[in-house]
Amino acid sequence: MEIKEALILDENDPLSKALAGILDSRTAVIITRDGKYCGIIDDRNMWLLSVENPVKTKCKTMAIKPTVLNPETGILERIDAFLGGHFKALPIVDERGKPLGITTRVELLRDMSASSLIPKAGVKTLMSSPVYLIDEKKTVAEAKLEMKKYDARRLVVTSRGIPRGTFSTLDLAAESLRPLEKQKMAFVATKRSYDDQPLVNIYRPDVTTVPENSSVEEAAAAMIRKSVSSVVVMGGNKPAGVLSAIDIFKNVREAAKESLEIDISGLDDETIIYRDSIRQAIEKVADKFAVSFGVRRVGVHVKAGKSVYTVNILLEGDKENFSIRAEGPKISDTVNIAAAELGERLSRKKGLLKSRKSLTKGGFL
């Protein structure tokens, strides 16, 4: 996983510093408390900004807490994290809670592409439609109304029906905050309204398009190349739909659930109630390492003794199988112990494989 550098601020720093950092990076700023991660601020916060003076407002008033990742978080877990909210970036921390940086949808797409996880389908099968368009002659006020109407964070700006760029919540925030006073990256909100300005003077000419006969792999490659998380699908000269990284994530996640086979055996009339919780415990481990080991099937057998339960797990990978055995007086605790031991073994194996790969690249093996 690639970890991108991010601006890290204390929760008591002025909000103006965070806003300046977001406008500069167009992603997110990490907020800490006593040096440990406690949240992020992104452009969605800026869209919801309701303070008159961000210089006198503390970052902690606007920080939100998405799912936290670590450097070893697997691809499917990262997909779940991005699907859990409309975040452009997610924080990465170490085992002590110290922030290391952020990762974005683009980095996830890149890793999915390297692991051959991008769906082999046409963009028309995954794209969403219609495209939310607005003419460049419209005003900021009209753009706001359209965004609220469709609950959209971005509009495609057109000229005579042809996409020319985008206008987003980040642009709204940028236009509502003008640098009247600048000292150590501090901005003061202006009183002036920009609602009457035409979009032609404001929008960003950075729209990325692909033909409607493109494959999802080609569209993902365009997103990675341009460092964007969506593309406009063109049917001739007209926008036919939008394909986003989120659309790709959803498709891959659903396919992974369908392809993972978990067989649970040995339960009787008294223990059958544990079936769902056993499946959830195993799925959590299998999902984390599904890509690394090509996990397709996991078998779980529960055997009841006089005073203990025995749980045997067999995880079948593309190149290697892993088996775990655990015993305990309670079935739920025993399953959790077995699942945890399986996760630890897979994690150690993954780390070993990564070290060998690194050494091979360095010419030591």
Domains observed in the chain: 8-102 (3.10.580.10), 123-251 (3.10.580.10), 260-362 (3.30.160.100)
Distance in angstroms (rounded) separating the CA atoms of residues 346 and 322: 8
The lowest-confidence range among 18-22, 140-144, 323-327 is 18-22
User: Residue 253 — φ and ψ, nearest 5°?
Assistant: -65, -45
Reference 164, options 137, 195, 188, 136; nearest CA is 136
pLDDT recorded at residue 359: 45
- Collapse the DSSP code of 243 into the 3-class scheme (helix H, G, I; strand E, B; otherwise coil) and give the result: strand
Three-point CA angle 59, 60, 63, nearest 5°: 90
In this prediction, residue 100 has a pLDDT band, given cuts at 50, 70 and 90, of: very high
How does pLDDT run across 235-288, given as a tens digit for each residue? 988 899 999 999 999 999 888 777 778 999 999 988 999 999 999 899 888 887
* Distance from chain centroid for Cα 213: 27
Tokens 């907020």, located at residue: 31
Average the pLDDT over 17-43 and give the result.
87
| Phi-psi region at 33: left, alpha or beta (left = phi > 0; alpha = psi -120 to 50) | beta
Return the C-alpha torsion angle 196, 202, 208, 211, nearest 10.
40
C-alpha closest to that of 21 among 31, 33, 12, 34 = 31
* Dihedral angle of Cα 311, 315, 321, 324, to the nearest 10 degrees: -20
Give the model confidence (pLDDT) of 153-199 as tens digits: 889 999 988 899 888 877 776 665 554 334 334 444 444 467 888 99
Q: Average pLDDT for residues 50-66, to the nearest whole number?
A: 81
DSSP H helices, the chain, are 15-25, 43-47, 75-83, 105-114, 123-126, 140-150, 169-176, 216-226, 245-259, 275-293, 331-362
The pLDDT, as a whole number, for residue 363 is 45
- For 209-236, what is each residue's pLDDT tens digit? 999 999 999 999 999 999 999 999 999 8
* CA-based radius of gyration for the chain: 24
Q: Report the 10 Å Cβ neighbour count for 262.
A: 15
Identity of the amino acid at 252: V
